[in-house]
Structure 1
């Protein structure tokens, strides 16, 4: 009983942290791109630094998992230094995640945090579609219904989006929506691809993370050079960095690792509650910080999205067992009629 209580407490702790991180990340990033005073930092460098922090955290977790520096060294040699094919395999989600993370900066420069948080839930149907195509899984009727409900809710939110009155820069909502659409496609594909790689072998999650983040650092450095190379050489890699920007990098780094823990130790229903709570918290913060004016369309769409997330996470019914019971009942009915 005590172990069960500890388990429940641990799950609630993980979900609480994940919810707070998800909400705080979108709000803080939005703040640094639209309201925070001072010179605007380069988003490409922030994405690169995030990959470095994730690599450091994953190395720490792998050290804890192996139990000693000697085993850590042998593991790194076996799976990373002498496994170039595995690094190449993990470079695919690295590129996709790098695009996704950069698109988040574009989206939150043009859309309010609450609108972003709701619209970003389109990753659910995108991930579902990738799961069906890449992992040969099936969705229940309720899950398909919830997917269409979610799309309807997002349509309402984007049809007449809420407006923020305290934003200090010019925004392009269409560009913001396009950026979210790209981020959603990247999230769905990369997540399912990474899951497929994880389940194709018994290699540790943290080893796979390290392989991916090493590739991610290289990819994001190329992105810095291509997008902001001249400006970075002129003004410096950390130009425009403030404590708030460092906070955004920290949240992005921790959020990715906590997502792995939540996937491992919780179920879809609890993750659904976490996503819905993050939407509510982002909305409240947007009203207080950015002067968000909530419209009826936004409120209705957000409620539909929250409901659809809950419905999507409900466990599938054992249809085979139900059909067997129905067949048994039908045969009994025939015997009685005879």
Structure 2
């Protein structure tokens, strides 16, 4: 009888020990689940950034080539303003199609509805005007530079973007990144050196002025647009794109009336268009969408450096398409710019 009581008592103690052990061990199942979700979200974001950045690099590398290729006898037979208008229209249509798909899948929410306040919309005309001027200059600069030279000079965007990034968005850059900007300037200049002519630089003065103006316009428009897009992170990017492109269409329509009204009325809206022109318009539209995606999910610095990588692809393709000769200066300048790209990436301030 006493042995039976001792056995029952020992079983009771064991039960108590087991229960107390279970109570003392924390339940980490939720923590593990949250960690897995965060890891998955990080992988998705990284994959999204990689895809849009790679897409932008490829599209940008072919952009200059298509613009040069669309010329006939050294001139644009089509209306540049109508081409720009169609680019904005196509981007707006793509944004609407993406929204329609989202509405069908998730329904209309506060973050993806088109209706909004005046305060949210009123900021979009500024970058729309800046992009209009910059895009028009983009065509006319090719009277002074070739496609690889354009891509080299386009890297001045990085300098203007870096400075404006610090001023407007209050983002701090490391000393290594500022040094990368100086190297970038040196690389762009080196690539333009011309040893076979009395002119020190391949690009004439007018080309440099247009390149610098384009860099300032592109840098300010890019940083300003990023500030708008990231001001409301939850807002769907396609809604933000829609309002930006609507104003872009409006300003480009005004440009048509001012610059090419007679030509459009006498020859038609699509006069001088070719298959290459259509390809160029689609390229510009997809590039614009890719730029906005990079701004939404990365930043302007990623954008301008991805377009810098495109200069190498442009130069290689131009060798076969236009008989472009890779001079020693261009080769050295490309190396310097590539080093600047690496230094800027390596010198990012850890937050």
* Superposition pairs of residues 138-217 of structure 1, within 5 angstroms: 138-160=172-194, 173-201=204-232, 202-217=234-249
Greater Cα shift, 243-252 or 287-296: 287-296
Q: Secondary structure at the match of 1:292?
A: coil
Say if 1:268 and 1:314, in contact at 8 Å, map to a contact too. Answer: no
TM-score (norm: length of structure 2): 0.77
Provide the alpha-carbon RMSD of the alignment. 3.3
Counterpart CA distance in 2 for 1:60 and 1:205 is: 13
Say if 1:273 and 1:310, in contact at 8 Å, map to a contact too. Answer: no
1:137 equivalenced with 2:171 (yes/no): yes
Aligned length in residues: 308
Counterpart CA distance in 2 for 1:141 and 1:294 is: 32
Counterpart CA distance in 2 for 1:172 and 1:226 is: 30
1:22 equivalenced with 2:53 (yes/no): no
Say if 2:53 and 2:306, in contact at 8 Å, map to a contact too. Answer: yes
Residue number in structure 1 paired with 2:328: 296
Specify whether residues 133 and 115 from structure 1 end up closer, same or farther in structure 2 by C-alpha distance, changes over 3 A only.
Answer: same
Specify whether residues 253 and 131 from structure 1 end up closer, same or farther in structure 2 by C-alpha distance, changes over 3 A only.
Answer: same
Residue number in structure 2 paired with 1:312: 344
Specify whether residues 57 and 28 from structure 1 end up closer, same or farther in structure 2 by C-alpha distance, changes over 3 A only.
Answer: same
Residue number in structure 2 paired with 1:280: 312
Specify whether residues 241 and 14 from structure 1 end up closer, same or farther in structure 2 by C-alpha distance, changes over 3 A only.
Answer: same
Greater Cα shift, 270-279 or 286-295: 270-279
Q: Secondary structure at the match of 1:254?
A: helix
Residue number in structure 1 paired with 2:99: 62
Which residue, 65, 71, 83 being the options, matches 1:33?
71
Instruction: Choose between structure 1 and 2: higher helix proportion.
Output: 1
Counterpart CA distance in 2 for 1:273 and 1:188 is: 12
Specify whether residues 185 and 317 from structure 1 end up closer, same or farther in structure 2 by C-alpha distance, changes over 3 A only.
Answer: closer
Deviations 1:244-286 (A, max 9, x none): 0000000010111122334455689976774454112100111
Shift of 1:297: 1.8
Specify whether residues 16 and 137 from structure 1 end up closer, same or farther in structure 2 by C-alpha distance, changes over 3 A only.
Answer: closer
Say if 2:141 and 2:207, in contact at 8 Å, map to a contact too. Answer: yes
1:224 equivalenced with 2:256 (yes/no): yes
Say if 1:110 and 1:176, in contact at 8 Å, map to a contact too. Answer: yes
Which residue, 252, 267, 276 being the options, matches 1:235?
267
Shift of 1:117: 0.9
Segments of 5+ residues of structure 2 without an aligned counterpart are: 1-35
Specify whether residues 6 and 73 from structure 1 end up closer, same or farther in structure 2 by C-alpha distance, changes over 3 A only.
Answer: closer
Specify whether residues 44 and 173 from structure 1 end up closer, same or farther in structure 2 by C-alpha distance, changes over 3 A only.
Answer: farther
Shift of 1:222: 0.7
Q: Secondary structure at the match of 2:154?
A: helix
Specify whether residues 161 and 54 from structure 1 end up closer, same or farther in structure 2 by C-alpha distance, changes over 3 A only.
Answer: farther
